[in-house]
Structure 1
């Protein structure tokens, strides 16, 4: 799920180095399907969509070698990989596996911040019991493999930004450590589009300004970044120096819960958009359930190919009661504005209006996610 970074200025005091681990499951949805169906193992698999329409929600590594990626229209994916096997998503199964994985996390620290079903931050700073964060990350990965027959990659560093970057370095089934000594230089050669917190639209704006890499970003003054990017400019100034003051926050007060995705090819039909909304609704509902919150307002965000952005919202007299209802409302809102000849380059779903009466009581197990 998308999260907006806490924005800290360059003069904020930095505490003692933390021990942050970012765990990211490898091709999660597709790997679960390959695990559960031996006939799919070693073959290019796309979860979601179909050869005729829709959007790929996840792709196996065998499919990725052909250029197939998540959020890609299924027609394009099928052209890139004629032998691609399309599989319908099973979100109940993915949530169950995610709960297994979070149970493992809970054995090591109470400071776990899930980003989605397949990734999370862990703060191990005060929970190492004499071990190193790297050793704990290796142990967690081994337990995930043993208990779920799936692989996970891990990044270990002194802040969230670098830990997430690190987890992507040696995928699949890899581990990368970025030390405080290495962190400031690690970001210099990376394209800004690889930075967590810099989306495709912002990366394009930066590139138009001649900011291609972390080194280019570091060369900009705080004043210039703030003038061009507002409050986010401070965050960009910091991360170009390997600085990130955000804490791992398992419990945070929210006014809304949302997820969005920018697509590599514009969505031209209502059917494509309806398919693309399913994984977004799953992310939003998973987060709402985890935080024991129910909202009455569903908002659909659409950004067209010409970058015009619109929102449509509906507020109910009672809280949204289920993921299918959330998805249905989002699809109904989409039908009021799509199809559009410009095509949709981004879709988002937000759940809000969390009144005190909208909180739900759920039977939580030790690990916190009943979904």
Structure 2
């Protein structure tokens, strides 16, 4: 039954770099690295020309410089990348019945049942052409029977590629690939399996489920399924993608703005911590207040993708200032992040100082160990609401 699914995975090629090349065409075909050049700078993205020298994202910029000394370093602009990302999503939204935005630069599209009306490969090809034509940004796609194989097909044909892996081609396509190519297989697991002589997907697919369970727990079974080309995870409609939020009802109605701002800071820090734990970024923040007469007012803003406290706190306070118009007592305040996608904070793409980023990481470590309320900023303490 599972063989009637048609899933397209679309992924921008070297997305951040492509947005920079679009702005400055003289960068085309050059080794371009996006990320900070400070001592603790990290590569956020790099062109395929730079990748040939072994540069990859999340690598320290210092090391990237040694590997590719002639590279052009660009600080990066998350505003521009977020904007381009939303433009791509808008085109896809218009053209397909069901899609999921998986990260800032990739989408899954479920064409199941539509294949009666369209050839899916032709449809995906035309969608890709539209994005290239309208936005001048390069993109690749894979089409297959589930999300995992579709993503692996895209990775296999990038950059500027299109690949269709049909049901009966799934295993032959996967078998010769390195287990490294399986989405979600981390470095530790790779080393563990390699040490046992499991280097190719073909070998992994032969391992007994019990052995995988003993070796890697539930994650092991999921990897085994992926090696066999099995993945039942659904494409989650963009409209239903999760948001994360919190609200606080005051014991007695309050008009103390300083106090409410402190509370807001604390609430934002709590949910930003949860975002980072889940390795998500948000592009939309909503503030809700309820006056003592039970009237609710909401204000929403789109922001560049982020999970950093300071960016989110500042925006939340600004929205609160805009929404709190009547000098009336408040009963409740709420904050919510939506438009969540997978991704890590790209340290150096922000005006954030490295010290501030280090502080966030240190606080997260303590929270993980001692519980969420173990550390808070001084301005928040001693609130009795």
TM over 0.5: yes
Correspondence 1:72 to 2:59: yes
Match of 1:150 in 2: 137
Aligned mate of 1:334, from 358, 361, 364 = 361
2:243/2:337 contact within 8 Å kept: no
Match of 1:133 in 2: 120
Displacement of 1:107:
2.4
The 3-state SS of whatever aligns with 1:168 is helix
2: CA distance, partners of 1:221 / 1:256: 39
2: CA distance, partners of 1:211 / 1:232: 16
| TM-score where L is the length of structure 1 | 0.68
Alignment of 1:180-259 (within 5 A): 180-250=167-237, 254=242
CA shift in 2, pair 1:289/1:104, >3 Å: farther
Match of 1:284 in 2: 280
Q: Deviations over 1:33-82 (max 9, x none)?
A: 01101332222111111175401100012212222211111111111111
CA shift in 2, pair 1:299/1:209, >3 Å: farther
Alignment of 1:1-371 (within 5 A): 14-50=1-37, 53-128=40-115, 130-250=117-237, 254=242, 284-286=280-282, 319=335, 331-335=358-362
1:108/1:127 contact within 8 Å kept: no
2: CA distance, partners of 1:299 / 1:234: 34
2:282/2:337 contact within 8 Å kept: no
Displacement of 1:229:
1.4
2: CA distance, partners of 1:217 / 1:287: 38
The 3-state SS of whatever aligns with 1:249 is coil
The 3-state SS of whatever aligns with 1:76 is helix
Displacement of 1:127:
3.3
2: CA distance, partners of 1:44 / 1:188: 33
1:157/1:180 contact within 8 Å kept: yes
1:51/1:78 contact within 8 Å kept: no
1: CA distance, partners of 2:48 / 2:156: 15
1:108/1:124 contact within 8 Å kept: no
Q: Mind listing any 5+ residue stretches in structure 1 that lack a counterpart?
A: 1-13, 258-279, 301-316, 339-347, 354-371
Displacement of 1:188:
1.1
1:113/1:249 contact within 8 Å kept: yes
The structure with the largest helix share of the pair is 2
Q: Deviations over 1:245-304 (max 9, x none)?
A: 1111125575979xxxxxxxxxxxxxxxxxxxxxx89x73336669x99xxxx899xxxx
Q: Deviations over 1:79-134 (max 9, x none)?
A: 11111111111111111111111112112323211111111110011334621111
2: CA distance, partners of 1:46 / 1:127: 40
| TM-score where L is the length of structure 2 | 0.66
Displacement of 1:196:
0.8
1: CA distance, partners of 2:159 / 2:173: 20
2: CA distance, partners of 1:86 / 1:325: 16
Match of 2:264 in 1: none
CA shift in 2, pair 1:126/1:87, >3 Å: same
2: CA distance, partners of 1:211 / 1:326: 42
Choose 163-172 or 245-254, whichever is displaced more: 245-254
Match of 1:260 in 2: none
Count residues in correspondence: 287
2: CA distance, partners of 1:41 / 1:255: 37
1: CA distance, partners of 2:202 / 2:362: 44
2: CA distance, partners of 1:326 / 1:88: 12
The 3-state SS of whatever aligns with 1:226 is helix
The 3-state SS of whatever aligns with 2:36 is coil
